[in-house]
Amino acid sequence: MFESLSDRLSGILDKLTRRGALSEADVSEAMREVRRALLEADVALDVVKDFIDRVKQKAVGQEVVKSVAPGQMVIKIVHDELIETLGRDPQPIDLAAAVPVVMMMVGLQGSGKTTTTAKLAKRLQTRERQKVLMASLDTRRPAAQEQLKILGEQTDVATLPIVEGEDPVTITKRAMDAARRGGFDVLLLDTAGRTHIDEELMAETASIEKASNPHETLLVADALTGQDAVNLAQSFDRCVSLTGIVLTRIDGDGRGGAALSMRAVTGKPIKLLGTGEKIDALEDFHPDRIANRILGM
Amino acid sequence: LTKEKLDEDTLDDLEDVLIRADLGVEMAERVRSIIAKNRYDRGASADAVRQVLGDEVTKVLDPVAQPFPAMAEKPFVWLVVGVNGTGKTTTIGKLAHRFETQGKKVTLAAADTFRAAAIDQLKIWGERVNAPVVAHDVGSDPAGVAYDGLKRAQETNADVLMIDTAGRLQNKSDLMDELAKIVRVLKKLEPEAPHGVLLVLDATTGQNALNQVELFQQVAGVTGLVVTKLDGTARGGILVAIAERFGLPVHAIGVGEGIDDLESFDAEDFARAIAGFGRENAKAA
Ligand SMILES: Nc1nc2c(ncn2[C@@H]2O[C@H](COP(=O)(O)OP(=O)(O)OP(=O)(O)O)[C@@H](O)[C@H]2O)c(=O)[nH]1
Ligand SMILES: Nc1nc2c(ncn2[C@@H]2O[C@H](COP(=O)(O)OP(=O)(O)OP(=O)(O)O)[C@@H](O)[C@H]2O)c(=O)[nH]1
Ligand SMILES: [K+]
Ligand SMILES: [Mg+2]
Ligand SMILES: [Mg+2]
């Protein structure tokens, strides 16, 4: 569907056969194509604009070496800058805190919080040998607590017993208590989905944070998200102190520009990728993979 | 004063508004060039420019704003499809409620046999709206559930059958084959079924929604769209590109998680929100 950025840039720049430096005009023409490619990948417009400015500065004046196609050179500058913006070094989930280490998942409705909670629990339990407890604070979506309970049974991870009629903060306190008493190393809190403009529910998230003081607060977001990624990430980050982002549905064929947007506006690292519906479909974040995807390579 | 073309800066700003609303570059450029061709007043106020923008987007959306069909066939079979987490099950609950208040007898079929507690979720909706739910065990063949659902709907003289399916990404061919199989199996009982195939799209989705429509239409013969989660965003502009390219009817929009949070799709309202009259985009324009 999309012509790859390499092809487009080659078409524009590889006509330049002269030795010397890329002129401002050459670069500007190339940047229009880069802008287009980033927007087609769902990178937020303001993030695109900043990004283009930075790349432009780096590209103008670059020597066009005869042996290297200028298109490829610009691609490399774009690619490197993408990786820089996405965060070069992977940042894993951090366990360095007093037990029980609390981790909270937040995000829009249907983004993949409950599934990610179970995936992360399983990984911490098997790979890091942590004793994990999961609790669902979702008292609104039909069968949400049941969903986490079933996932707990499937993964052999303990879940907090369901008590009908409790509100999310009460459940949080009960979960903290159960985690302490039960000698759990990690407590994962799965919260209900909420839109970032719903003030009442955003306030609820803040109360849960206050009651549990999480060591990790992860924004679980859909890799297929469009331009709203910026507002969504900013709003959640303002309401609670995010420590990282989990990008789900990476197994789709979306271009994943939301990753760049969210990272750029919050500065928070992308820590994990959801790569499928199954419980083991969770991977560490590698910036080059997302960079290639955004560029359609 | 003769009308002149809007200047390039104003047109750039318009294009930005559209891109921010998820129309995509191509569609945004197309709307821009339509506006550039028409001679609008150069000195037009921001509001007047936005009005023009709203009008052009309305023109694209108007043809697809269509209510649900009359559902003359009995039982009228709806197959509800879409990628993961878009709001299929919730939309079925809301629609079942709406159809029941219109005096129709609705049956639900829980053909998402994969996701944890998906069956329980639909059963809770079934209780809320007083509709029987046909379900098999977790992990069983979804096509079997759909078949039994139709059989039961026929036997009990139901007016409408709504089949809930598991979320699936359109690029997963095995899961898309599973969907094709559901359609095939339904036709064994009733050659005209499913009478309607609803694709549920999440309004926060970006450009990938175009691929979603294309592939679900290919595999399952989508007849109409429902766009959800419009309470969370004034955008959903990808729908404009979808309307232009596929012309599929948009039957309703989801504006919340509650049973009544389903509205008919109003092209002008939607276009105005995209053009920046809505609360969210006001600052972008
Ligand atoms: N393909 C794919 N599907 C996923 C992934 N993560 C979650 N899902 C699916 O997305 C859908 C929603 O996932 P949930 O975990 O229920 O999402 P949630 O954020 O808890 O939803 P709410 O609690 O309703 O807000 C389910 O169908 C999951 O199977 C992923 O990485 N890839
Ligand atoms: N804000 C808002 N949330 C919605 C809307 N429609 C559905 N939801 C929520 O989105 C989440 C996912 O909805 P589901 O109906 O479970 O979605 P689904 O497509 O059936 O999900 P899977 O079966 O896992 O693929 C739930 O938390 C719903 O309450 C809507 O119009 N607005
Ligand atoms: K989603
Ligand atoms: Mg959940
Ligand atoms: Mg469902």
Q: Are A73 and A45 in contact (CB under 8 A)?
A: no
Q: Give the global pTM.
A: 0.96
Residue found by looking up tokens 């009733």 in the block: B190
- The reported pLDDT for the residue numbered B280 is 41
How remote is the CA of residue A105 from the centroid of ligand 4, in Å? 9
CA of A14 to the centre of ligand 3 (A): 40
Ligand 3 centroid vs A45 CA: distance in angstroms? 20
Mean pLDDT, range A106-134, rounded to an integer:
98
Cβ–Cβ < 8 Å for A37, A257: no
Residue with tokens 């039994």: B148
Q: CB neighbours of A49 closer than 8 A, spacing ≥ 6?
A: none
A296: contact with B, CB 8 A cutoff: no
- Going from the Cα of B89 to the center of ligand 2, the distance in angstroms, rounded, reads 7
Amino acid at A240: V
- Site to substitute for ligand 2 among B79, B81, B88, B90, most atoms within 8 A of C-beta: B90
Rounded to whole angstroms, the Cα distance separating B236 from B32 reads: 18
Torsion, CA B231, CA B232, CA B233, CA B238, rounded to 10: -90
- The dihedral over CA atoms of A252, A258, A262, A265, expressed in degrees to the nearest 10, equals 170
Residue A195 Cβ inside 6 Å of ligand 2? The answer reads yes
Size of interface A-B (CB pairs under 8 A): 133
- Region of A129 (left: φ > 0; alpha: ψ -120 to 50; beta: rest) is left
Average pLDDT over residues B6-19: 90
Residues B173 and B148: beta-carbon distance below 8 Å: no
Q: Would you call A262 helix, strand, or coil by DSSP?
A: helix
State the pLDDT at residue B42: 67
Could you give the angle at which helices A5-13 and A24-40 cross, rounded to 10 degrees? 160
Q: How far apart are CA A237 and CA A217, in angstroms?
A: 10
Find, among B149, B164, B190, the residue nearest to B79 by Cα: B164
B218 close to A (CB below 8 A): no
pLDDT the model gives residue B284: 36
Supply the DSSP string of B87-113, one letter for each residue: SHHHHHHHHHHHHHHTT--EEEEEE--
What stretch of H or E contains A271?
A: strand A270-274
Greatest pairwise CA separation for chain A in angstroms: 74
- Helices A199-212 and A229-239 meet at what angle, rounded to 10? 50
Please report residues of A whose CB lies closer than 8 A to that of B114. Answer: 277
Q: For A60-99, what is each residue's pLDDT tens digit?
A: 888 877 666 788 888 899 999 999 999 988 899 999 999 9
Q: Is the CB of A110 under 6 A from ligand 2?
A: yes
Residue of A nearest to B24 (CA): A40
Q: Is A227 within 8 Å of A13 (Cβ atoms)? A: no
The pLDDT confidence band at residue B285, using thresholds 50, 70 and 90, is: very low
pLDDT at A23: 85
Residues 6+ apart with CB under 8 A from B10: B44, B49
- Which pLDDT does position B166 carry in this prediction? 98
**A222: nearest CA in chain B?**
B205
Residues A151-185 as b or e (16 or more Cβ within 10 Å = b) = bbeebebbbbeeeeeeebeebbeebbebbeeeebb
* Nearest ligand 1 atom to alpha carbon A147: 16
Q: Which of B206, B264, B207, B253 is nearest to B231 (CA)?
A: B253
Mean pLDDT of all residues in A236-247: 97
**Cβ distance B148 to B141 under 8 Å?**
no
Determine, for residues B206 and A257 on separate chains, whether the beta-carbon distance falls below 8 Å.
Answer: yes
Residue-wise pLDDT tens digits, B211-268: 999 999 999 999 999 999 999 876 799 999 999 999 999 999 999 999 999 999 999 9
Distance spanning both ends of chain A, measured CA to CA:
13
CA of B123 to the centre of ligand 5 (A): 11
What's the pLDDT tens digit per position in B29-78?
999 998 888 777 666 777 888 888 999 999 999 999 999 999 999 999 99
Average pLDDT score over chain B: 93
Helix (H) or strand (E) run with residue A256 in it:
none
pLDDT tens across A1-51, in order? 456 777 888 777 777 766 678 888 888 988 999 999 999 999 999 999 999
Mean predicted confidence (pLDDT) in B99-109: 97
* Ion ligand 3 contact residues with beta carbon within 5 A: A 110, 222; B 85, 202
Confirm or reject contact between A13 and chain B (CB < 8 A): no
Other beta carbons less than 10 A from residue A67's beta carbon: 4
Residue B121 contacts A where some CB pair is shorter than 8 Å: yes
pLDDT at B283: 36
**Is A142 part of the contact surface with chain B (CB cutoff 8 Å)?**
yes
DSSP β-ladder status, A244-248 and A216-222: parallel
Q: Which of B121, B169, B232 sits opposite A143 (nearest CB)?
A: B121
Mutational test site, ligand 1, from A204, A273, A277, A283, max ligand atoms within 8 Å of CB:
A277
How much distance in Å is there from the Cα of B261 to the middle of ligand 3?
17
Report residue A112's pLDDT band, with 50, 70 and 90 as the boundaries: very high
Nearest residue (CA) to ligand 1, atom 13 = A112
Half-sphere exposure of B52 (CA within 13 A, CB side): 25
pLDDT for A127 equals 96
pLDDT tens digits for A124-162?
A: 999 999 999 999 999 999 999 999 999 999 999 999 999
Structure tokens at A82: 């993408």
Cβ-Cβ contacts under 8 Å, A253 against chain B: 169-171, 208, 211
**Which residues of chain B make contact with A45, given a CB cutoff of 8 A?**
16, 19-20
* Gap between the Cα atoms of B31 and B25, Å rounded: 10
Tens of pLDDT along B125-137? 999 999 999 999 9
Say which residues have a Cβ less than 8 Å from residue B23's Cβ, sequence separation at least 6.
Answer: B31, B237, B238, B240, B241, B274
Cα–Cα distances in Å, from A42 out to A82, A111, B204?
14, 17, 11
What is the percentage of chain B residues whose pLDDT exceeds 70?
94
The shares of helix, strand and coil residues in chain A, as percent rounded to the nearest 5, are 50, 15, 40
* pLDDT > 90 fraction of chain B, expressed in percent and rounded: 84
Tell me the three state secondary structure of residue A221: strand
**Residues with Cβ < 8 Å from A89, sequence gap 6 or more?**
none
Pocket test for ligand 1, best of A104, A114, A247 (most atoms within 8 A of CB): A114
Query: Residues near ligand 1 with C-beta < 6 Å?
Result: A 107, 109-115, 138, 141, 144, 192-193, 248-249, 251, 274-277, 281; B 84-85, 115, 167, 169
Do A251 and B232 count as a contact with CB atoms less than 8 A apart? no
- Chain A contact present for B280, CB below 8 A: yes
